[in-house]
Amino acid sequence: MAYFNGYAVIEEKGDENRGEDSDFVSDSEDEFDTADFDFVHKPSRQLKQVVQNMRELQFKDGRFVSKGMTRVRGKFDRLFCYPWWMVQVNIHPSKKLSNNEKLACKLPSYSYRTDDDVGEDVLSLFLIKGCKVHQQHAEMLLDFIRKNNLRPTLNHLFENLETFAGSSEDNEAVAGQIKEWLYHSGKLL
């Protein structure tokens, strides 16, 4: 059985390449905030057969690296369609829908991304959109990470928060508030 590792690519509104079967139906924009985060172990009821544009990750030299864009047809949980989630799914080996489209034969599993493409943009989205950290606080942390040449990854987030907190009293207060939002959101790494 072949495995596909990757992450969902957020499509912009009005994207001409979007098909109706790749759209997620949402009654509310705030559903992500109110979700019960036990769904990492048990999928939510929001599974829907869709075609998801994904960036494929290939395991090379002990780490994941980007390979290319692929469309995967399967049942995906729309709560995991953000780029900080890595998706692993079994691909049906004999059924190829097209050259650049694969068919999932089981439900996917999800984890946080640890590949080299995780950077400031993904960390910023994770903090602001996923954890609802105040944008100014997220920008202060990202600016500190950039100025001090720290790694802006999800793996190093808590380590970077500790370094940020130790740099000044103001930063300590901001780091405390960011940690509070991380714990409150249920997205602990």
Q: How many domains does the chain have?
A: 2
Backbone angles phi, psi at 119, to 5 degrees: -145, -155
Q: What is the pLDDT of residues 57-115, one digit of tens each?
A: 888 887 887 888 888 888 888 778 888 998 998 887 776 666 678 888 888 888 888 87
Q: What's the confidence (pLDDT) of residue 172? A: 92
The percent of residues above 70 in pLDDT, for the chain, comes to: 75
Q: What is the pLDDT of residues 138-148, one digit of tens each?
A: 999 999 999 99
Contact 84, 65 (CB under 8 A): no
Domain boundary among 56, 83, 112: 112
- The verdict on 43 and 59 lying in the same domain is yes
- The verdict on 170 and 92 lying in the same domain is no
Domain boundary among 80, 112, 144: 112
Top mean-pLDDT range of 49-53, 74-78, 127-131:
127-131
- The verdict on 50 and 131 lying in the same domain is no
Domain that holds residue 13: 2-112
Domain boundary among 56, 85, 112: 112
Residue among 32, 138, 116 nearest 81 (CA): 32
| pTM beyond 0.85, yes or no | no
CB atoms within 10 A of CB 161: 20
Q: What's the confidence (pLDDT) of residue 16? A: 45
Task: Check residue 69 and give left, alpha or beta (phi > 0: left; psi -120 to 50: alpha).
Answer: beta
